[in-house]
Structure 1
Amino acid sequence: MATKTIRTFYNLCICVGMFINTDAFAQTWPNLPAKISGKIINGLNSNDSIVVNINEDNPKWSYKKKIVPINADGFFQILLDTIHQPSAIRMVIKGRNYMIFEREIEPGDSLFLEIDAVVSNPANKYSGYMPKYSGNNVGKYRCDDSIAIFRQGWDNQRKNLYNQFVACRYSDEYYTKLYEFLQTGYGKVIMILDNFKGQLSPAMYEYLKARYIAFYVPWSSTLRSEYSQTNNLDNKARIIKNFGRYQPSKLVVSPDIAGYDTFFLGHLFSHIQVETWFEYDGKKYSFKLIYEKLKSRYSGFLRERLLAYFLYWPGNMLYVENYDPADFAACLADAKSITKDPWLKKVLAQKTFLKSGTAAYPFALPDTSGKIVKLADLKGKVILLDLWGLGCSGCAQFYQLFEKEIQPHLANEPNFKFVSLNADNSTERWTTGIKSGKYTNDHHINLYLEGKGVKHPFAKFYSIVSAPFIILIDKQGNLITKIELGLSGAELLKTIKTALIAQ
């Protein structure tokens, strides 16, 4: 079957529509403070404290860190300023590498936790340990715990299903069984959720319903994986045909509430992304095309959240071909002009488009020997500056591309420098990353943001909220362009060589 026929299948099978608010539900959250207090009942040392990471209505859509003291009796208290939406919170005892609490708190919550720091050290997230909760609105935690227990068995059943149908993989029967399994699993999750409905705020009920769709109906990502693992054109056509079984437009959730959950936003975005990927037969596509699809397919607050989500996260560039900075600038300007939500306006205002020709930040940072390296020291060189963090998959992905497709062509070029800039909070993590060879190596210029991460003036200058952050600087110390993950090695090499030729 020819590629043209596959695209015909695509056009016949991918039917989409506007997101339907069948519940006509518009209630959200009030603007209220929140409080978490509690007691550590075991495994506490006299100098222990709690490290809290929270996205407390953070317009940067990222976590802020707080250090919360624990008194001699094991008590602690975390006070949050006025918040208007669920705020994700993660808690660890300083110096230990496991979570003692990871949930979301609503505006107006007053929660008390009793945590056994010994028992809560899990081999995996769902080891069976659940903190004791008391206070208002705790039904959401008990509900989440019940669903986490259900998921253990559900994950095993899904693996068994894959094994059972391995002989007829890519058949219509296989996809029918898989789709029915996912729908049944989600149905059981909703039954658990409904059992707790009386203990949940109306807004949180809708919020969790949307989130569990993202967790239990991974149809788009599953079929994209299937598609990438076969070269058989009949198999590809069958995957595309079955992709049309699932339509987000038919979901019975409130868009006013669902838009608050980033997992659900990712779910909707993934569906359009995979749909377009199928349309282009597994090849990359333009950034603007996805933006226009998101803009035309959804409306209201949900559309505003989706557009901001797409523009804000670098990982959304992964399948974009020939990333055009002018396209990004135009899409960002358009999103700013149509966005009404005040919080999202702040988000988009902090997403800046770096203009070519402006002076780069005049950094002066230590290398691994302690020597201070300045941007001015590198005048006359074209600089590819790469900010990374240990454990960042996108950072490792970019460096792998650099090593394979860029470095071999520039190894003997005296006027080119690769400058690696680490954003971790300890020199140990920095040196571990260098030694691993995944993010840089000791042949490059390796600098450190002095443990300040996104709070460093360098990061603030560029409004950096996540890694990798990659820019190309010309011989005069001016910005050429920001490099996105979607840019191919060939395009990046061409851009660097053009800069090397320029005076």
Structure 2
Amino acid sequence: MFINTDAFAQTWPNLPAKISGKIINGLNSNDSIVVNINEDNPKWSYKKKIVPINADGFFQILLDTIHQPSAIRMVIKGRNYMIFEREIEPGDSLFLEIDAVVSNPANKYSGYMPKYSGNNVGKYRCDDSIAIFRQGWDNQRKNLYNQFVACRYSDEYYTKLYEFLQTGYGKVIMILDNFKGQLSPAMYEYLKARYIAFYVPWSSTLRSEYSQTNNLDNKARIIKNFGRYQPSKLVVSPDIAGYDTFFLGHLFSHIQVETWFEYDGKKYSFKLIYEKLKSRYSGFLRERLLAYFLYWPGNMLYVENYDPADFAACLADAKSITKDPWLKKVLAQKTFLKSGTAAYPFALPDTSGKIVKLADLKGKVILLDLWGLGCSGCAQFYQLFEKEIQPHLANEPNFKFVSLNADNSTERWTTGIKSGKYTNDHHINLYLEGKGVKHPFAKFYSIVSAPFIILIDKQGNLITKIELGLSGAELLKTIKTALIAQ
């Protein structure tokens, strides 16, 4: 699947990127731009800055710390009018012409794409062309499903489906090749890897197929076809492909689904996936995959028998074999959340204004859940808690659920409580005082996104960080183990 190359030893140049532009229509006197930057795609380094707009409509944003393609979202503050959402790579110098007339309702994002110019804009032109192709590709894929609805689980169906995915990827590469002269060599390889994840989703497609049938013959045929067809003819550079989160997810999904099929849809151990990733890949790509697995929410989907000690052992092993300085920092950040270390000694207001301290809860096992209004992952976790955990602990006096809100206004906090999607009045509801990720609590844990969930023991020490994807049964077992401990 990979080619080895020395041509990309330096990958992207160690240069700052710059975005400048002008609001050519719809400028208000108090406008500024909120810039959200994911300097590394798995949100290992998330930053936010406010950029002023001059009276003549001009603005400039300097990005002097990015080291790879980074996701940028730009919104006019107060209007939630999104003006740009793309990736920018080191060395880019981009100029935007923005029409900011808001004809849509408040708090809605625009679908308007500004005029862009500058160096390395070929990647945007390529993306625009691929988006047009994607519309037809999606329709063709639906037609394929409809054509084989009567024999959906047949070998012929899976052969046609695999050929369709391979052919679609080939057409996408033809489009990409048309823009090759407008792309940096590294960006060309980067996009080639990304499009594999988008257009050859073989593993995730068959997992979905497997989940939708209870027929044992159908399940067996899906597993057989999963093994028959592998994207072995796809050629990418591992040193470049490892930078793209979607490609990392593509490789991770393949191993996850492969293991799931080996266990006939039953759960498996966390450490098994880690060992497969470690043994199957090498070099920089392996380092990125291991960091992705250990850091990314959802990596515990289908895992059973989760033991925080297993996670700690895998994390220590990943640290010992990682050479990339950036990834070393990422793993060091995870190491900081080590079992047995003292939890942050918070002292925060509840809904009545009373200050609640961690010290007040000594002797209790605490599940602390940081959330924000509108966060789908936050709502997902809370619904799991209410359905699969709370009923078993409702009469347990030594267990407390602490709900911690990270929004920038008390109105959003109270709205979230009243909605019942993230917490309710029966829990301990605390507030980060409108400071969000700038609050000492968030800085202590290097929090960049919600939900952030940790389990704290009776002595006020960290037991483990809880990731989305961990089953309710496994989390409940971990909590009950902590309740038994002295």
TM-score (norm 2): 0.92
> Residues of 1 paired with 2:412 and 2:459: CA distance?
32
What corresponds to 1:359 in structure 2? Answer: 342
Which range moves more in the overlay, 168-177 or 327-336? 168-177
In 1, are the aligned partners of 2:369 and 2:403 still within 8 Å (CA)? yes
- When residues 246 and 345 of structure 1 are mapped into structure 2, their CA distance, relative to the original with a 3 A threshold, is farther
Match of residue 326, structure 1, among 294, 301, 309: 309
Q: Any idea what SS the aligned residue of 2:396 has?
A: coil
**1:179-222: CA deviation from partner (whole Å, max 9, x where unpaired):** 22222221221111111111111111111111111111111111
What's the CA shift for 1:119?
A: 7.9
In 1, are the aligned partners of 2:82 and 2:109 still within 8 Å (CA)? no
In 1, are the aligned partners of 2:81 and 2:108 still within 8 Å (CA)? no
In 1, are the aligned partners of 2:365 and 2:400 still within 8 Å (CA)? yes
In 2, are the aligned partners of 1:26 and 1:254 still within 8 Å (CA)? no
Q: Any idea what SS the aligned residue of 1:256 has?
A: helix
- When residues 187 and 495 of structure 1 are mapped into structure 2, their CA distance, relative to the original with a 3 A threshold, is closer
Q: Any idea what SS the aligned residue of 1:126 has?
A: coil
> Residues of 1 paired with 2:234 and 2:100: CA distance?
40
Which range moves more in the overlay, 239-248 or 178-187? 239-248
Q: Any idea what SS the aligned residue of 1:92 has?
A: strand
What's the CA shift for 1:135?
A: 1.3
What's the CA shift for 1:247?
A: 2.8
Which range moves more in the overlay, 358-367 or 115-124? 115-124
**1:431-485: CA deviation from partner (whole Å, max 9, x where unpaired):** 3322222221121111112233333222232333433332233333333343344
- When residues 315 and 123 of structure 1 are mapped into structure 2, their CA distance, relative to the original with a 3 A threshold, is farther
> Residues of 1 paired with 2:419 and 2:360: CA distance?
28
Which range moves more in the overlay, 21-30 or 317-326? 21-30
In 1, are the aligned partners of 2:81 and 2:107 still within 8 Å (CA)? no
Which range moves more in the overlay, 187-196 or 158-167? 158-167
What's the CA shift for 1:39?
A: 1.1
- When residues 68 and 383 of structure 1 are mapped into structure 2, their CA distance, relative to the original with a 3 A threshold, is same
Report the count of equivalent residues.
Answer: 486
Q: Any idea what SS the aligned residue of 1:144 has?
A: helix
RMSD (CA atoms): 2.7
What's the CA shift for 1:79?
A: 0.8
- When residues 357 and 259 of structure 1 are mapped into structure 2, their CA distance, relative to the original with a 3 A threshold, is closer
**1:49-76: CA deviation from partner (whole Å, max 9, x where unpaired):** 1111112369962421111111122111
In 2, are the aligned partners of 1:384 and 1:419 still within 8 Å (CA)? yes
- When residues 251 and 25 of structure 1 are mapped into structure 2, their CA distance, relative to the original with a 3 A threshold, is farther
What corresponds to 1:197 in structure 2? Answer: 180
In 2, are the aligned partners of 1:366 and 1:448 still within 8 Å (CA)? yes
> Residues of 2 paired with 1:369 and 1:26: CA distance?
57
**1:339-382: CA deviation from partner (whole Å, max 9, x where unpaired):** 11111111111112544443321111122233221112223333
What's the CA shift for 1:120?
A: 9.7
Which range moves more in the overlay, 192-201 or 128-137? 128-137
What's the CA shift for 1:147?
A: 1.1
> Residues of 2 paired with 1:259 and 1:225: CA distance?
25
> Residues of 1 paired with 2:256 and 2:237: CA distance?
22
Q: Any idea what SS the aligned residue of 1:44 has?
A: coil
> Residues of 2 paired with 1:83 and 1:226: CA distance?
39
What's the CA shift for 1:155?
A: 1.8
- When residues 125 and 229 of structure 1 are mapped into structure 2, their CA distance, relative to the original with a 3 A threshold, is farther
Which range moves more in the overlay, 39-48 or 328-337? 39-48
In 1, are the aligned partners of 2:80 and 2:108 still within 8 Å (CA)? no
**1:383-403: CA deviation from partner (whole Å, max 9, x where unpaired):** 221222334343333222221
In 2, are the aligned partners of 1:323 and 1:486 still within 8 Å (CA)? no
- When residues 424 and 125 of structure 1 are mapped into structure 2, their CA distance, relative to the original with a 3 A threshold, is closer
- When residues 321 and 253 of structure 1 are mapped into structure 2, their CA distance, relative to the original with a 3 A threshold, is same
- Which consecutive residues of structure 1, in runs of 5 or more, have no partner in the other structure? 1-17
In 2, are the aligned partners of 1:55 and 1:87 still within 8 Å (CA)? yes
Which range moves more in the overlay, 465-474 or 151-160? 465-474
- When residues 104 and 120 of structure 1 are mapped into structure 2, their CA distance, relative to the original with a 3 A threshold, is farther
> Residues of 1 paired with 2:461 and 2:29: CA distance?
51
- When residues 420 and 210 of structure 1 are mapped into structure 2, their CA distance, relative to the original with a 3 A threshold, is same
- When residues 288 and 209 of structure 1 are mapped into structure 2, their CA distance, relative to the original with a 3 A threshold, is same
- When residues 479 and 226 of structure 1 are mapped into structure 2, their CA distance, relative to the original with a 3 A threshold, is same
- When residues 499 and 182 of structure 1 are mapped into structure 2, their CA distance, relative to the original with a 3 A threshold, is closer
* Match runs of 1:17-96 below 5 Å: 19-21=2-4, 26=9, 28-56=11-39, 61-96=44-79
What's the CA shift for 1:330?
A: 1.2
- When residues 194 and 128 of structure 1 are mapped into structure 2, their CA distance, relative to the original with a 3 A threshold, is farther
> Residues of 2 paired with 1:82 and 1:359: CA distance?
32
- When residues 484 and 102 of structure 1 are mapped into structure 2, their CA distance, relative to the original with a 3 A threshold, is closer
Match of residue 492, structure 1, among 472, 475, 479: 475
- When residues 428 and 170 of structure 1 are mapped into structure 2, their CA distance, relative to the original with a 3 A threshold, is farther
In 2, are the aligned partners of 1:383 and 1:417 still within 8 Å (CA)? yes
- When residues 23 and 270 of structure 1 are mapped into structure 2, their CA distance, relative to the original with a 3 A threshold, is farther
> Residues of 2 paired with 1:200 and 1:125: CA distance?
33
- When residues 122 and 273 of structure 1 are mapped into structure 2, their CA distance, relative to the original with a 3 A threshold, is farther
Which range moves more in the overlay, 338-347 or 486-495? 486-495
In 2, are the aligned partners of 1:360 and 1:479 still within 8 Å (CA)? yes
Higher relative contact order (CA 8 A, sep 6+): 1
- When residues 204 and 501 of structure 1 are mapped into structure 2, their CA distance, relative to the original with a 3 A threshold, is closer
In 1, are the aligned partners of 2:39 and 2:67 still within 8 Å (CA)? no
> Residues of 2 paired with 1:26 and 1:139: CA distance?
22
In 2, are the aligned partners of 1:19 and 1:248 still within 8 Å (CA)? no
- When residues 51 and 245 of structure 1 are mapped into structure 2, their CA distance, relative to the original with a 3 A threshold, is farther
Is 1:348 the counterpart of 2:331 in the alignment?
A: yes
- When residues 129 and 276 of structure 1 are mapped into structure 2, their CA distance, relative to the original with a 3 A threshold, is same
Q: Any idea what SS the aligned residue of 1:99 has?
A: strand
- When residues 351 and 381 of structure 1 are mapped into structure 2, their CA distance, relative to the original with a 3 A threshold, is closer
What's the CA shift for 1:238?
A: 1.2
In 2, are the aligned partners of 1:474 and 1:480 still within 8 Å (CA)? yes
Is 1:211 the counterpart of 2:191 in the alignment?
A: no
Q: Any idea what SS the aligned residue of 1:56 has?
A: strand
- When residues 243 and 118 of structure 1 are mapped into structure 2, their CA distance, relative to the original with a 3 A threshold, is farther
> Residues of 2 paired with 1:134 and 1:146: CA distance?
17
> Residues of 1 paired with 2:280 and 2:483: CA distance?
43
In 2, are the aligned partners of 1:59 and 1:347 still within 8 Å (CA)? no
> Residues of 2 paired with 1:127 and 1:179: CA distance?
36
- When residues 441 and 132 of structure 1 are mapped into structure 2, their CA distance, relative to the original with a 3 A threshold, is same
Which range moves more in the overlay, 395-404 or 116-125? 116-125
In 2, are the aligned partners of 1:112 and 1:134 still within 8 Å (CA)? yes
> Residues of 2 paired with 1:429 and 1:189: CA distance?
43
- When residues 470 and 106 of structure 1 are mapped into structure 2, their CA distance, relative to the original with a 3 A threshold, is closer
TM-score (norm 1): 0.89
**1:278-330: CA deviation from partner (whole Å, max 9, x where unpaired):** 11111121111111111111111111111111111121112211111111111
What's the CA shift for 1:249?
A: 4.6
The percent identity for this pair of structures is: 100
Q: Any idea what SS the aligned residue of 2:389 has?
A: helix
What corresponds to 1:132 in structure 2? Answer: 115
What's the CA shift for 1:411?
A: 1.9
- When residues 301 and 122 of structure 1 are mapped into structure 2, their CA distance, relative to the original with a 3 A threshold, is farther
What's the CA shift for 1:22?
A: 7.9
Match of residue 144, structure 1, among 127, 131, 136: 127
Which range moves more in the overlay, 197-206 or 348-357? 348-357
- When residues 97 and 222 of structure 1 are mapped into structure 2, their CA distance, relative to the original with a 3 A threshold, is farther
> Residues of 1 paired with 2:293 and 2:333: CA distance?
14
